[in-house]
Structure 1
Amino acid sequence: MLALPEGLNVDFKREVQAVRSADLVAFANAPLGGTLLIGIDEYTTTDGVQRGRVVGCEVDDKARLTLINKSTGCIPNVEVQLFTENLAASKPILRIEIPSGTRKPYCTQRGEYAIRTDGRNRAMLPEELLAIFMEREGDLFLSRFRKAVQQLEVQLGSVNHSLSEGMLGVSEHLYDLDQQLQRTLSRIEQLTDSNKKRSRNLMQALRQSQDGIVQLENSIAPVINDQGQHLLQDIEHKLGMLLDLLDSDSNGNH
């Protein structure tokens, strides 16, 4: 990096105090991030090319804290990694790695949006800011949409599980009801005429049960299996037989 001039991804600073928040923001907003080398003096070669010369800088905790405060003062905070280099040559320098940010766009506390270009920082154009905002909002929308879909799938799975358990319980109750009707039908056929005359309350109860079965069938028809539907139809048929039997006997005895 020292053998090359300052560029898109590298910037030289003489001392820590020369680093501005805008320098950190510019690299964080850049597509590839960048590196700040502190303790480097800039000079121009005889052929007119800019180069960096190591002169060293303070690398103590105070210098590091100063840089951290500058990075946390950005909006949002800029992530930085600090490294000490060239210790063996007694001219230590600081290398600051600034990755391309994941929360673009970044700005200083004064609301300055900057981006790194070839060897310098420049203010971001309105269309650049708009593009970043649109991309960020699009990513946020997709993230929320995927999360909502996942939650919906989980909820549907729970509903299907509950529905399956509920249908199993309904089927068991329907089977018990079918068996009870079969026993009742056998007993009704054995009743004497006098007993059948006193079966008006039974007839009313049976008619109410028949209406309830029809409503139940209409409610669960879309989700119940074929076996359950056949069982419901069989129960309706047996209820009809009971009503016909009681009704005909009742009419015949009037």
Structure 2
Amino acid sequence: MLSLPEGVNVDFKREVQAVRSSDLVAFANSPFGGTLLIGIDEFTTRDGVQRGRVVGCEVDDKARLTLVNKSTGCIPNIELRIFTENLAVSKPILRVEIASGPHKPYCTQRGEYAIRTDGRNRAMLPEELLAIFMEREGELFLSRFRKAVHQLEHQLGTVSHALSEGMLGVSERLFELDQQLQRTLSRIEQLTDSNKKRSRNLMQALRQSQAGIVQLENSIAPVINDQGQHLLQDIEHKLGMLLDLLDSDNNGSH
């Protein structure tokens, strides 16, 4: 890199303080990123070609923190990889690698959008920004769409499974209700037969009671007063009405 002039992916800086946030933004917005070589002085050869000459720079923690602060001040933050080179001699330098950012476009805190071109940084054109925004939003939309489709497929599978189990449960429930209905009808028939039998037994008992009351009335008639006579006749009349009602129910059931 030192043997070549500054280009689309290499930039020379004399010291850490010469690095600007726009330098980091320009490489992060570029398709392939780039490298900052700090501690390099630019000079022009006799044939007019620009080259880099190692002069060295501070490579301590303070220098690294300065670079990190500049990168975290960008929007969004830019990730740096900082390496110390040339430590074997008295002129160490810093090599700062800036990858092409995954969250383009990047800008400085002042809202400057820049991109690296042939040996320099330049402001991004509106159509370039629009293209980046559209590409980013398109990828975001596709990602959300794929996620939604996956969730929908999962939900459909769950619903299909639930419907299958639900239909099986409904079928089993209908079968149980049918069995219960059959048992109920059988019990109703049994209860009907039993009620008929009870009605016949009751009617027979009532007739016997009516006959007994008539005999009782004939036997005690000479000794009871008018109120007693009236009471016995009323009981006999009600028993007759009850017998007539039972007869009509039995005839209707036949």
Tell me if TM exceeds 0.5: yes
- Cα offset, 1:146, TM superposition: 1.3
Alignment deviations for residues 21-75 of structure 1 (CA, whole Å, 9 cap, x no partner): 0000000000000000000111111111111111110000000000000000111
> Partner amino acid for 1:113?
Y
Secondary structure at the aligned position of 1:129 is classed as: helix
Partner SS state of residue 131, structure 1:
helix
Q: SS of 1:37's equivalent?
A: strand
Q: CA deviation at 1:174?
A: 1.2
Residue 15 of structure 2 corresponds to residue 22 of structure 1: no
Equivalent AA in structure 2 for residue 110 of structure 1: R
Structure 2 CA distance for aligned equivalents of residues 73 and 63 of structure 1: 16
Counterpart code for 1:135: E
Q: Paired residue for 1:46?
A: 46
1:83 and 2:83 matched:
yes
Specify the code of the residue in structure 2 equivalent to 1:103: H
Residue 177 of structure 1 is matched in structure 2 by: 177
Following the alignment from structure 1 to structure 2, what is the Cα–Cα distance between the partners of residues 17 and 183?
96
Q: Which residue of 1 aligns with 2:127?
A: 127
Q: Distance in 2 between matches of 1:51 and 1:88?
A: 22
Q: Residues of 2 paired with 1:195 and 1:36: CA distance?
A: 107
SS of corresponding position for 1:160: helix
Query: Which structure is larger by alpha-carbon Rg, 1 or 2?
Result: 2
Q: Indicate whether 1:10 and 2:14 are aligned.
A: no
* Distance 1:153-1:195 versus aligned 2 partners, 3 A rule: farther
Match of 1:139 in 2: 139
1:113 pairs with 2:103: no
Q: CA deviation at 1:178?
A: 2.4
Structure 2 residue 144 is matched with structure 1 residue 154 = no
Q: Secondary structure at the match of 1:121?
A: strand
Please give the alpha-carbon distance, in whole angstroms, between the structure 1 residues aligned to 2:69 and 2:2: 26
Question: Structure 2 unaligned runs (5+)?
Answer: 197-251
Post-superposition offset of 1:98: 0.3
Deviates more, 1:74-83 or 1:157-166: 157-166
Cα distance in 2, alignment partners of residues 95 and 11 from structure 1: 10
Q: How many residues align?
A: 199
The farther-off stretch of 182-191 and 116-125 is: 182-191
Q: Distance in 1 between matches of 2:193 and 2:41?
A: 120
Identify which range, 172-181 or 91-100, moves more after superposition: 172-181
Question: What is aligned with 1:61?
Answer: 61
Q: Which amino acid aligns with 1:71?
A: S
1:249 aligns with: none
In 1, the alpha carbon distance for the partners of 2:85 and 2:178 equals 87
Q: 1:53 to 1:175 in 2, by over 3 A?
A: same
Once residues 195 and 116 of structure 2 are traced to their aligned partners in structure 1, the CA distance between those partners, rounded to angstroms, is 101
TM-score (norm 1): 0.73
Kindly tell me: are residues 189 and 60 of structure 1, through their superposed partners in 2, closer, same or farther at Cα, counting changes over 3 Å?
Answer: same
Q: Which amino acid in structure 2 is aligned with residue 178 of structure 1?
A: D
Secondary structure of 1:142's counterpart equals helix
